[in-house]
Amino acid sequence: MKIDYLDKISGALFGGACGDTLGHPFEGFLREKIYSNFTNFKLFVRENRRLFNTYTDDTQLTLHTAEALIHGGGFDTKFFISEYVKWLDEPPIGPGYGCLTSIRKLKYGLHWEEAASNSGGNGTAMRVAPIGLFYCKDIERLKKFALKSSIITHSHPAASAGAIVIARAVAFLVEKDPRKSFSSEEFFKIIISSISDSKEAIWKEFIDILLKVKENLNIPIEAGLIKFSQIGVKSPYFIEEYLGKAFVHPYTLSTVACAIFLFLNNLGSFEDCIYELATAGGDSDTVGAIGGSLAGAYFGYKNIPSELVKLVKNNKKILQISRELYSRFAEKYSSF
């Protein structure tokens, strides 16, 4: 199949924005509470239409990542810093502590090595999809720049491992034909190999977690979410009252594990996938954004129902950014 890269790039950006928009009203809810009100996706969208009025920090920062790649013609630290600093004036919608504190320090001129917070939060995995898209033909640069894009705000190794894995997963899915299935065995092999060359203990721990997700792909959704909602989280950061519940912790390893588990279990259609992601419970908007970017990279823009595209705030601007990112990509990798 000849890949339509513009369709895949637009798909990944809109997929993330849809998941963020649909998950946002349910951030901080238990999955069982969300599910007790809806029996299917159509009802879920219809009944909550008025709540789906915005995306959040996940999409805001993803769009800034795309703009940084567009203006820099690829990764360049100074464009990334200036784009993330611009986000502070938007203003940020539902930001995480790690992003906010580090980017404020960047704004006041601190070098990124001093500004970066030691947060293992999911704030860098949630914004990394454009790096996976732009460098899908150059995996060495993809890994290098996914890492760099993460450490300028989060010095914790969990954040960088999550960012690399999501960027690599996006690049893998861009090349796949959504009319055919792909091997989950190959998917895990590829994403695990992207972080297997490090002595970092947390990267190794993340590989074990990803292997656990792979072994448990056939268990029921609720059971999987209970298993992975707080996986990798260390004391005293557990959310004690939600242990044993489907309530995704905003730690990178647990969020990425849940997003991948849900994505791989719902490959029937974009709608099936986004429904499960946005109703994950806990950090629903970020599970929606990360998993949605995977779903969009796989299914492509043309398989996202127009009704969902219309729900996304600033959809014309997102389409424009998708086109510009595609143009930059095509300039650089013109043989594709």
Instruction: Among 56, 155, 252, 266, indicate the residue that binds Mg ion (CB under 5 A).
Output: 56
C-beta separation of 6 from 322 below 8 A: yes
Contact status: 58 vs Mg ion (CB under 5 A): yes
On the CB side of 160, CA atoms within 13 Å amount to 26
CB closer to Mg ion, 230 vs 255:
255
Q: Which stretch binds Mg ion (CB under 5 A): 111-119, 190-198, 229-237, 284-292?
A: 284-292
Report in angstroms the alpha-carbon separations of 139 from 147, 171, 232. Answer: 12, 8, 27
Q: Which stretch binds Mg ion (CB under 5 A): 34-42, 86-94, 109-117, 169-177?
A: 86-94
Contact status: 283 vs Mg ion (CB under 5 A): no
CB closer to Mg ion, 160 vs 284:
284
CB closer to Mg ion, 121 vs 232:
121
CB closer to Mg ion, 17 vs 295:
17
Residue by residue, DSSP assigns 273-308 as HHHHHHTSSBSHHHHHHHHHHHHHHHH-GGGS-HHH
With H, G, I as helix, E, B as strand and everything else as coil, classify residue 251: strand
Contact status: 57 vs Mg ion (CB under 5 A): yes
Interface mask toward Mg ion for 91-120; x: CB under 5 A: ---x--------------------------
Contact status: 276 vs Mg ion (CB under 5 A): no
CA distance 216 to 211: 9
Interface mask toward Mg ion for 149-188; x: CB under 5 A: ----------------------------------------
Contact status: 285 vs Mg ion (CB under 5 A): yes
Residue number with the shortest CB distance to Mg ion? 56
CA distance 235 to 241: 13
Residue that has been written with the tokens 């996938």 in this structure: 273
CB closer to Mg ion, 24 vs 143:
24
On the CB side of 113, CA atoms within 13 Å amount to 0
Which are the contacts of 318, defined by CB distance < 8 A and separation ≥ 6? 10, 13, 14, 17, 63, 312
Q: Which residues bind Mg ion (CB under 5 A)?
A: 56-58, 94, 285
